Amino acid sequence: MFSVTLKEVMEEFQLENVTNCNSLDEILVSSSDINRPGLQLVGYLKYFGTDRIQIIGKVETTYLEALSPEERYLRLDEFFKSGFPCMVVARGLDIFQEMIDVSNKYGIPILRTKDITSRFLSGLISYLNVQLAPRITKHGVFVEVYGEGILILGESGVGKSETALELVKRGHRLVADDVVEIRKVSDKTLVGTAPDIIRHFIEIRGIGILDVKNLYGVGSVKVTENINLVIQLEFWDEKKNYDRLGLVDEYTDILGINVPGLTIPVRPGRNLAIIAEVAAMNNRQKKMGYNAARVLNERVLGEINKSSTQE
């Protein structure tokens, strides 16, 4: 289980700390599910997820406004007593004194945003999906080439960082070098980034550590990117037969998601940066429904059939 502190959520969305809670950095959010308390405010608390952030908008506020102060306090007291990370009031709406009293009683902070309820809700869910996503760490290099996120893996010294540096010189962007943090943000999407401490740095043997952002400008780096292709670099093995046609699609399993993959043999004279560029463009073509290897194969089979018919 991964978690994010309530203080981080407040800073990310610039929320107002209405109740001046001083322990926001101690309150952990471990669920990306969000709840708008409708049934809970009328007293139905069965199957209530107490690990979810609660959001109140115009509808809930209008309902509470129609109650008497005594009834409002009783409903809110029963609701807050169940426990949850925090309450967020949207649209910059006024907060009832009874809600503040109950908040102080149970130590549950109340935050407020000026954003409309639905927009804040979707933004918060997207943020929590990334922050709480299952994740692993890979030793490799992650670059963005022609809009495609390419994860380059291989043994130490095979040329991963040098390939990334050449790609940066050719106008592409570095996301991570040496350590790549990969998060599964949905059933189909993997996102890669670099640990904060080494972000935008790259190591080149014989030179040392380089700051790519300072050397090549802010346009040469990127904080995060979806992983669209995995390239496995390996030293050329004369005894191994490498794929020359590309008719069989290869995949690499990462966190249960199959990502298109390629195995590229490395030997002197091969320009790995150009190969990576072509691989990125070819992967985009495949996603658009065009596979050059299959088109060529169909042409060859067509010619063979034509010759057989003429005979």
Domain(s) labelled CATH 3.40.1390.20 in the chain stretch across 4-131
**Going residue by residue through the chain (311 aa), what tens digit of pLDDT does each one get?**
789 999 999 999 999 999 999 999 999 999 999 999 999 999 899 889 899 999 999 999 999 999 999 999 999 999 999 999 999 999 999 999 999 999 999 999 999 999 999 999 999 999 999 899 999 999 999 999 999 999 999 998 899 999 999 999 999 999 999 999 999 998 899 999 999 999 999 999 889 999 999 999 999 999 999 999 999 999 988 888 777 777 788 999 999 999 999 999 998 888 999 999 999 999 999 999 998 888 888 888 888 887 777 66
What CATH topology corresponds to 135-295?
Rossmann fold (3.40.50)
Among residues 228, 196, 202, 195, the alpha carbon closest in space to that of 141 is found at 202
Token representation of residue 97: 């004194």
**Which amino acid type is present at position 226?**
N
Separation between Cα atoms, residue 280 and residue 275, nearest integer Å: 9
Residue numbers annotated as active site: 139, 160, 178, 244
pTM, 2 dp: 0.80
CATH code of domain 4-131:
3.40.1390.20
Domain(s) labelled CATH 3.40.50.300 in the chain stretch across 135-295
Handedness of CA 6, 32, 38, 65 (dihedral sign): positive
- For the chain, the straight-line distance linking the first and the last C-alpha, in angstroms and rounded, comes to 68
